[in-house]
Structure 1
Amino acid sequence: MKELIEYVARSLVDDPTQVHVHERKKGDSAEISLQVAKEDMGRVIGRNGRVANAIRTLLQVSASRDGKRAFLRISEPQ
C-alpha cells in the first residue's frame, strides 16, 4: 500500500524528491502518512479535494483486497 501511494504521489508532483511516505500498522489497519512540498500540496489535494479523495479510494480498495483497513494523512514536511 505504501508503494502505491508513493507511486501516485510522485506522478502528480513537480518535485518527486520531496515525497515521503510512512506507514504505521496496527493490527488489521494501517495509517499512511504522505508528505509533499508546500508548492505541491494543491496538486495532491486537487480542487475541492477530488484528487485526495481519489487517492484515498485507491488506498481503501487496495487494503480491502487484503482484508485490511487503511487511512491516508496528507501533510507538509515540518
Structure 2
Amino acid sequence: MKELIEVIAKALVDHPEQVQVRERQQDKMIVYQLSVAPEDMGKVIGKQGRIAKALRTVVGAAAVKKEERVHVEIV
C-alpha cells in the first residue's frame, strides 16, 4: 500500500525525490502520512481536493481487497 501511494504521488509532483510516505498504526486502522515538497502540495491536493480524494479512493479500494482499514493524510 505504501508503494502504491509513493508511485501515484511521484507521478504528480515536480520533485519526486522529496516524496515520503510514513506508516503508523492507530487503533484498528493504518494511517499513511504523505509528505511532499511545499511547492508540490497543490499538485497532490488538486482543485477543491479532487486529486487527494481520488488518491484516497484508490488506496481505499486496494485496502478493501486486503481487508484492511486505511487513511491517507497529506502533511
Please give the TM-score of this superposition, normalised by the length of structure 1: 0.91
- Percent same amino acid among aligned pairs? 47
| 1:1-78 equivalent positions in 2, closer than 5 A | 1-26=1-26, 28-75=28-75
Q: Provide structure 1 residue ranges, at least 5 long, that are not aligned to the other structure.
A: none
Structure 2: where are the runs of 5+ without partners? Answer: none
Matches of 1:3 and 1:28 in 2, distance apart? 21
- Give CA deviations for 1:7-58 in whole Å, capped at 9, x if unaligned: 0000000000110001113575210000001100000000000000000001
CA RMSD after TM alignment: 1.1
SS at match of 1:55: helix
1:6 positional shift:
0.3
For 2:2, give the aligned amino acid: K
Counterparts of 1:28 and 1:68 in 2: how far apart (Å)?
A: 9
* Number of residue pairs the alignment of both structures matches: 75
* TM-score, structure 2 as length reference: 0.94
